[in-house]
Amino acid sequence: MRLPFWDQAEVPEEKITKDLLCTGHRDGRHKAAFFMAHGFSPDNWEALAEALRQHAAQCDVVQREDTPFGTRYVVEGPLQAPDGCNPLIRVVCFFEKEETAPRLVTAYPLK
C-alpha cells in the first residue's frame, strides 16, 4: 500500500530547515548530517521536500496506526538522493481527523 494522497503531502519548510537539515538542532543534528552527506542542503530545502514526496509515492507503507487524533503512517524504502546512493529511510506522516492530506512528522535513516 502507498501513502494515500501523497501528492498533496504537506512538507513544511520549517520542518526541513529547522529539523531535518539543521546541524544545530538538538535532536535533528544527526539527521541533518545524514541528509547533507547525501547531497541535500538547507539552501535548497525544496529538493529534500520533493524527494520525501517521491519517497511516499514509490515506497510502501509498513505501518498504519489509528489514534484519537488521526492516522499515523510509516513509509520505508530508498530515498532518491542527489549523490545517487539512495539510502534507506523511514518517513512518518500523519493525517489529522477530517483532513485529506498527510503532514510530514519526521524522516530518518534506517540502520
* Structural domain containing residue 58: 6-109
Confidence at residue 67, expressed as pLDDT on a 0 to 100 scale: 95
Instruction: Let me know if residue 81 belongs to a domain.
Output: yes
pLDDT in tens, 46-104: 999 999 999 999 999 999 999 999 999 999 999 999 999 999 999 999 999 988 899 99
Instruction: Let me know if residue 105 belongs to a domain.
Output: yes
What's the structural domain count of the chain?
Answer: 1
Confidence at residue 27, expressed as pLDDT on a 0 to 100 scale: 81
CATH number at residue 55: 3.30.2310
86, amino acid identity: N
Instruction: Let me know if residue 56 belongs to a domain.
Output: yes
Nearest of 84, 80, 76 to residue 106 by alpha carbon: 76
pLDDT at residue 15 greater than cutoff 90: yes
Confidence at residue 111, expressed as pLDDT on a 0 to 100 scale: 82
Rounded Cα–Cα distance for residues 92 and 82 (Å): 21
Sorting pLDDT into bands at 50, 70 and 90, what band is 25?
A: confident
Confidence at residue 104, expressed as pLDDT on a 0 to 100 scale: 96
Instruction: Let me know if residue 1 belongs to a domain.
Output: no
Q: What is the H or E stretch that residue 63 is in?
A: strand 60-67
What's the DSSP call for residue 10? B
Nearest of 90, 86, 92, 96 to residue 111 by alpha carbon: 90
Nearby residues of 40 by Cβ (< 8 Å), 6 or more positions away: 21, 47, 48, 51, 81, 82
Sorting pLDDT into bands at 50, 70 and 90, what band is 26?
A: confident
